[in-house]
Structure 1
């Protein structure tokens, strides 16, 4: 579970307090602007480096853009 620091009041929790929240709550609080910073996130799996991808080819439609 991620640990966050609050930027504003959340229920009876004052700004600056740290809370353990689940991913859904983290997303909702971030959307509402209540998260000052994410203090700690669990590292379950190491993120793989994204492979270099080639740009996707656009299918030809027979029409030209002007």
Structure 2
């Protein structure tokens, strides 16, 4: 996966585009070092979580 850096990362300057694996890309996003993620990463980041799509389940009042 390719990302564009917002800040220095090792010997890579801000604005450089580098190839990284998924775990490294996630860590760089977390640390605020990514200026522009590739399209695949952006879709993955903006996608709703599976738990957000599931409806709430009613709670049982048994035993009260």
TM-score interval, smaller chain: 0.5 to 0.7
Q: Structure 1: where are the runs of 5+ without partners? A: 43-49
CA distance in 1 between counterparts of 2:10 and 2:19 reads 14
Contact 1:3-1:41 within 8 A present in 2 as well: no
How many residue pairs match? The answer is 53
C-alpha RMSD of matched pairs (Å): 2.5
**Partner in structure 2 of residue 12 of structure 1:** 11
Question: TM-score normalized by structure 2?
Answer: 0.66
Question: TM-score normalized by structure 1?
Answer: 0.64
Contact 1:4-1:21 within 8 A present in 2 as well: yes
Q: How far did residue 57 of structure 1 move?
A: 2.5
**Partner in structure 1 of residue 28 of structure 2:** 29
